[in-house]
Amino acid sequence: MSGRPEATPGRVSVPVPPAKPSSMKRLAEMQARIPEAADLILLGDSLAAAWPDALLPAAFPNRRVWNFGLPGDRIQNTLWRLNTGATAHLRPREVVLLLGTNNLGDGDPPGAIAAGVLAVMRRARDLWGMQHGILVTIPRRGELPGFREADRLAVNMDLARQLATSRDMACLDADRALAFARGDLPSLDPDLLHISRAGYDRLSRAVRTALDIKPASACFPRTAP
């Protein structure tokens, strides 16, 4: 944890730019290619950024998709990126958010992570006027039973509870979407953090279903221990 900001509840909701020069460089390159319009924006950290381009039509059919994911993003970084105004002209109908695993890795409290993720969704709605948002819950990471597994499940259950009555936002349970049967390819890369190609294929099918239902009826979180 050396070199990381102290994990306190308040810092998650305070917008700050990405800390790494490489992230700022990649962000500058991304902002130089901001489209004039988008039907759907994929927002978040490396789990969003790494979504294979070849699978985007399957996940988000008949939509102009712009991937605004940035590797290394924390919740507070994504909030900062939305506050810069560089994308204010975009008016997507839909936003899909995949965010929060890096805050889990930083040791931030579950309540702060859930509140921060919801703050990003609300900011995206206020900025872009989106009609529908899908929040993908934080996938499991690390060796079984999982890194900070009880806290991760608590975050996901909190998100599901708070979105249960929302008319314009829904959550998609990453655990169910990424589940695989015996003999299937794993949904995570060997680093047990990033999603594999097979995982993205499963996630693409789940997101497409959630978009078709609009809004999704439930998140179906697992029970925290």
What pLDDT, in 10s, does the model give residues 124-181?
A: 999 999 999 999 999 999 999 999 999 999 999 999 999 998 889 999 999 999 998 8
pLDDT on residue 5: 55
pLDDT category of residue 117 using cuts at 50, 70 and 90: very high
* Rounded to 5°, angle at Cα 102 from 74 and 182: 140
0.85 exceeded by pTM: yes
Residue type present at position 122: R
CA distance 168 to 66: 20
List pLDDT tens digits, range 1-15.
334 556 666 899 999
pLDDT on residue 221: 42
Q: Structural domains in the chain? A: 9-213 (3.40.50.1110)
CA dihedral for 69, 70, 72, 78, sign (positive or negative): negative
DSSP character string of 171-216: EE-HHHHT---TTSPPSB-TTSSSBPHHHHHHHHHHHHHHHHHSS-
> Which residue intervals of the chain are DSSP H helices?
21-31, 46-49, 56-59, 75-83, 101-106, 110-128, 149-163, 174-177, 197-213
List pLDDT tens digits, range 46-83.
999 999 999 999 899 999 999 999 999 999 999 999 99
